[in-house]
Amino acid sequence: MALPALPPGAPPAALYAERHGLFELLQSLLEALLLRQPPEPLPFLAELLRRDGDRAPRVLLLGPPAAGKTTVAARLCRALGAVHLSPGRLLVWAELAAGRAAEPGCARRGWVLEGLPASRAQALALQARGVLPRHAVLLRAPDAALLERALGRRLDPATGHVYHTTFAWPADAAVQRRLVPLPGDAEARVARRLLQHHRQLPGILRAFGPRLCAVDADQPCADVCRQVLERVRRGPRAAAPFAPRLLLCGPPGSGKRLQAALLRRRYGLADLRCGRLLRAAAAAGGRLGRLLQPCLRRGGPAPDGLVLRVLRERMARPPAAAAGWVLHGFPRDLDQAELLAAAGLGPNRVVFLTLPAAAAAERVTPRRVDPVSGKRFHALLRPAPSRAVQRRLRRHPRDSPEALQERRERYDYHVADLELFYRDAIHVNANQDPETVFECIESYLVHPLPCHSP
């Protein structure tokens, strides 16, 4: 799978458009213009831009009976500041749903429509009336779990609150005595509604296609709401040109080099390992190389200004300029991150790989290098192929327990500041299979960043 890339030598205008989401904004404006077909397009577009480009949430929350749609929709509306639309409040579902969705309050704040559409015909009718969601979320759970939920629900006639015999039983004995079964929750009626849902579900899936995502509702309500909120805040993947600029941060031994190599093979990204770039620049000579050589001979860090010059030169050449890049080894602290951003070389995706110190020691300290071939081996994971090779193996000074502890302490000292600086970063557990780690990074790479509430 390849990402739609910016053309070679992408001009600053293209990078500006990507950074500020202009492609997605134009798509949103054109969609609204064609759907509503106002008599005066320019005032209509100006009003949309005043509402931040019509980026308000538009969510359909679907699912079988007792899947928790009402609870999830209410929490979603509180988190997003959106208007809650439910079938119980709409007398004529299609006309009123379309009318409520077009009201100024709904248009400005966004809306969450719960439980509709319940069939393909209803989905097409909503679409014909211009009610197009940005996200359609389907809550799924086994029928046995849904029956247990439905049959255990109890209504308090005095307050209208709904309780459950297993999950949410009131402590007040007086409330317990006046609870009655919820209307429509008889086992036969719930079973018929479940059967009807299963019959209509294939048509609903065809009506929304890739916009519909499923969430497992057979888990604690807080987890379901968190997953739904994450899906909604992450916009649909756009076909706009995109050059990934990915920064990998992590303690020594977390697998940054391996993940960068996997990304290079999969997406053709330039693998920018800072230490290797500095050594290559020093070996190439020239004025920049002569300035770097004393630093590398001493074994100390190179000045940040020289590092930025090396990175700028490398990022301007293919494949980094067109396909994008993955950077690791820099920045190591907040000052370097601010310098990188000020130079216009900042990443658009940041991943923090987390790894316990004990697991890092198991990965790093058994590593050995063959001084003859330059190949790297591991006493446990990748042993030397023969005794002759094994006898000449040497440990790199950076892999000693003392050096590892020093590098780890330096990383731990600065990581909190870097996490605050890169607010859209994700954290991936690196103490698992490398392919699993790669799948998490890949999902973050190809999907839009979450939309933060103002």
Asked if 351 contacts 246 with a C-beta cutoff of 8 angstroms, the reply is: yes
Tell me, what's the pLDDT at 4?
55
CA quadruple 160, 164, 170, 176: dihedral, nearest 10: 80
pLDDT over 90 percentage in the chain: 26
Tell me, what's the pLDDT at 35?
72
Tell me, what's the pLDDT at 9?
44
Tell me, what's the pLDDT at 328?
96
Domain 245-272+323-365+400-446 has CATH 3.40.50.300: yes
Q: For residues 218 and 140, give the distance between their C-alpha atoms in angstroms, rounded to a whole number.
A: 7
Q: Give the SS3 label for residue 247.
A: strand
Tell me, what's the pLDDT at 317?
86
The DSSP annotation for 41-97 comes to: HHHHHHHHHHTTTT---EEEEE-STTS-HHHHHHHHHHHHTPEEE-GGG-SSHHHHH
Domain pair 51-233 / 245-272+323-365+400-446, same fold: yes
Domain positions in the chain are: 51-233, 245-272+323-365+400-446
Domain 51-233 has CATH 3.40.50.300: yes
Query: pLDDT tens for residues 179-199?
Result: 887 776 677 788 888 899 889
Identify the bridge partners of residue 374 per DSSP, sorted by sequence position: none
Whether residue 163 is predicted with pLDDT greater than 80 in this model: the reply is no
Asked if 242 contacts 15 with a C-beta cutoff of 8 angstroms, the reply is: no
Q: Which of 352, 353, 354, 349 is nearest to 445 (CA)?
A: 349
CB-side neighbour CA atoms (13 Å) of 171 = 0
Q: Which of 392, 27, 53 is nearest to 236 (CA)?
A: 27
Which of these ranges, 77-91, 167-181, 258-272, 426-440, has the smallest mean pLDDT? 77-91
Which of these ranges, 158-167, 188-197, 217-226, 248-257, has the smallest mean pLDDT? 158-167
Q: For residues 393 and 386, give the distance between their C-alpha atoms in angstroms, rounded to a whole number.
A: 11
- How much is the pTM? 0.62
Res. 316 pLDDT band, cuts 50 70 90: confident
**C-alpha distances in angstroms, 283 versus 316, 319, 353?**
20, 21, 31
Asked if 41 contacts 22 with a C-beta cutoff of 8 angstroms, the reply is: no
